Amino acid sequence: MINPLTLMKIVNERHAFVENHENVFPFLKENFGKNIEEGTVIKIDIKTADGENSTLEFEIKESDIPLFRNIEDFINQIA
């Protein structure tokens, strides 16, 4: 379970993040949940400042859908 104080910190720190990256939350609100269905593939690419790359790709299963609906609700509350 998430520590409520940690969650409060994250919600409060999002203001600076949104100012620095104003396109992230609209992207997440538009795509995270509503368009997620079984068979959807999510790919996450991370490139560090020193040029290292790391990629994760996974396909959504039917049992994953409730989690993504809850994430969608969370994003809509903080965005």
Assess contact for 36 and 63: CB atoms under 8 A: no
> For the chain, how big is the Rg over CA atoms in Å?
14
pLDDT over threshold 80, residue 17? yes
Mean pLDDT of the chain: 88
Tokens (6 digits) for 5:
């104080």
Assess contact for 51 and 15: CB atoms under 8 A: no
Query: What's the predicted TM-score (pTM) here?
Result: 0.70
Over the stretch 22-53, which tens digit does the pLDDT of each residue have? 998 888 888 876 778 999 999 999 999 999 99
pLDDT over threshold 70, residue 57? yes
State residue 41's pLDDT score.
95
